[in-house]
Structure 1
Amino acid sequence: MHHAVQAAIARFPDRGHAIEELAKADEDFLSLCEDLAEAQVALARWERSDAPVRTTRCAEYRELVRELVAELEAALDRNA
């Protein structure tokens, strides 16, 4: 299973099958999953950072993750 699909399933474990099927059929949905996985990795990296901009970057990536999760949920709802 694609690591990005796993990231989406971690957010919506009760919709795992739907996520897998939609990711196979829809490149845009898979791209959203990839964006989520990358944003989560970046957030984790900034959370471990001691850079002066850490707080700002963490807030930006948390917001990006929230937006991507909302987009994924909307796509799942449209394809339910």
Structure 2
Amino acid sequence: MDRGILAALRLLPNHKKSIQELMLRNENFRALCADLAEAEFALERWENSKFPEKEAHCAEYRLIIIGLEAEIRQTIRDR
């Protein structure tokens, strides 16, 4: 299964049907979900990092994920 849809389903499991439908017909939604998957992957890498700037990067990616979640929720509401 696509990493983007898996990321969206992990984040919003109660919206499974809407996510699946939007993934089939909405390119912008697919891009949001792909961005979410990438942000989650980057956050995980930074969380496991030993670099001194680890916390700043983790905070940045957490904010990105929050923003993407808001956009995904809005797209689901607007469909």
Normalised by the length of structure 2, the TM-score is: 0.97
Q: CA deviation at 1:22?
A: 0.3
Gaps of 5+ in 2: none
Alignment correspondent of 1:35: 35
Alignment correspondent of 1:61: 61
- Separation in 1 of the partners of 2:4 and 2:44? 15
* Percent identity of equivalent pairs: 39
Aligned pairs, number: 79
Alignment correspondent of 1:18: 18
- Separation in 1 of the partners of 2:76 and 2:40? 20
- Separation in 2 of the partners of 1:3 and 1:61? 17
Following superposition, which runs of at least 4 residues in structure 1 exceed 3 angstroms of deviation?
A: none
Alignment correspondent of 1:47: 47
- Separation in 1 of the partners of 2:6 and 2:56? 27
Alignment correspondent of 1:70: 70
Q: CA deviation at 1:58?
A: 0.4
Alignment correspondent of 1:3: 3
- Separation in 2 of the partners of 1:24 and 1:78? 16
Q: CA deviation at 1:56?
A: 0.5
CA-atom RMSD, angstroms?
A: 0.6
